[in-house]
Amino acid sequence: MKSLFYHYRKFFIGLIIFSIVTLSLIYSQLKPAKTLPIYNPADVNPELVDSTIQYKSKYHTIADFSFVNQNGDTITQKNYEGKIYVADFFFTTCGSICPKMTTNLAEVQTAILNNPKVMLLSHTVFPETDSIPVLKAYAIKHGVVDSKWNLVTGDKKKIYEMARKSYLAVKLGRPDQLYDMVHTENFVLVDQKRRVRGFYDGTKKEEIQRLLADIDFLSEKE
The annotation places the binding site for Cu cation at: 94, 98, 183
User: How remote is the C-alpha of 59 from its chain's centroid?
Assistant: 19
Longest dimension (CA), the chain: 91
Extract the annotated binding site: 94, 98, 183
> Taking the chain, what is the end-to-end CA distance rounded to the nearest angstrom?
55
Q: Give 130's contacts (C-beta < 8 A, 6+ positions apart).
A: 91, 92, 124, 138, 153
How far is the C-alpha of 35 from the C-alpha of 37, rounded, in Å?
7
Give the per-residue SS3 of 141-187: HCCCCCCCEEEEECCHHHHHHHHHHHCCCEEECCCCCCCCEEECCEE
The DSSP result for 13-38, as a single string, is HHHHHHHHHHHHHHHHHHSPPP----
Residue 125 near residue 91, CB atoms below 8 Å = yes
How far is the C-alpha of 70 from the C-alpha of 87, rounded, in Å?
15
